[in-house]
Amino acid sequence: MSSSVSLEQRGSVALVRFRGSGPGNAIGAGLVRELAEACETIAADAGVRVALLTAEGQVFCSGWDWSALAGLPAGKGGEDRPGEGWPSAAHLHGLLDDPFGCLAELTKPVVCAVNGDAISAGLALALACDLRVAAEDAAFALPETALGLLPMGGATQRLARLVGRGKALEMVLTGETIDAREALRVGLVGAVAPRRELLARAEAIAQAIAERGPIALQYAKEAVARGAEMPLEQALRFETDLTIILQTTEDRAEGVSAFLEKRKPEFKGR
């Protein structure tokens, strides 16, 4: 669908592949815009029930394309360090705040196949997805404090909510790099697979999710995401409200009928 993002439908799963603007799939403003466009396409397609995100090449994403952000020629800023003026450039291009919010806000589940190192922007991007499956040789890190910077792209907030305050602070403050097995242990990823099997493993998870009731999936994602920001009592009421609404749908009736008739349900998304 663009030079940096491709979109392929495989049954009810939309496979999104991206290629960054620099070595190591570095992320610039153009790629962020194209990911947002892909999310809009997926949201509008009733035939898509789950999105699967991965990257081209051997690295998932090594970080931000600092040269592009600072408006510097290649080689003057480098992919691993910011050039002068980068904060204002990043803000101008919409890369501060929540550049990957399009994935987190997508009502359909998003699975991420982390096919290599996810550093800085790469980790922020993976964290915006709902589920993560990592190649067994992948590494994860937020090294920005070594440059006198704060990790951006929502990384500090989503990491703490996923792995807990202690581990998040350890990774952010020390810039520690963790491998895929440690990422699995702390809950940063849900599964680890050999690189050659990674996409198939992630696609199998996505296809299994896609077979479930699409409205139930939407409400379940919303209940977890929004409920985590509420006091428990309010979150329980929110869960109950969503459950009551779900009872009025045709899919809920189909699910009950299929269970009683011992057959596979045929959900319509209504």
Q: Could you give the domains of the chain?
A: 5-210 (3.90.226.10), 214-260 (1.10.12)
Provide the pLDDT confidence category of residue 74 given band limits of 50, 70 and 90: very low
75-86 mean pLDDT = 44
Provide the pLDDT confidence category of residue 50 given band limits of 50, 70 and 90: very high
Contacts of 152 (CB under 8 A, 6+ apart): 90, 95, 96, 124, 144
Q: Share the mean pLDDT of the chain.
A: 85
Are the beta carbons of 50 and 39 closer than 8 angstroms? no
Helix (H) or strand (E) holding 2: none
Q: Does 226 have pLDDT greater than 60? A: yes
pLDDT of residue 77: 35
Lowest pLDDT segment from 1-5, 93-97, 158-162: 93-97
pLDDT of residue 30: 85
Helix (H) or strand (E) holding 126: helix 121-127
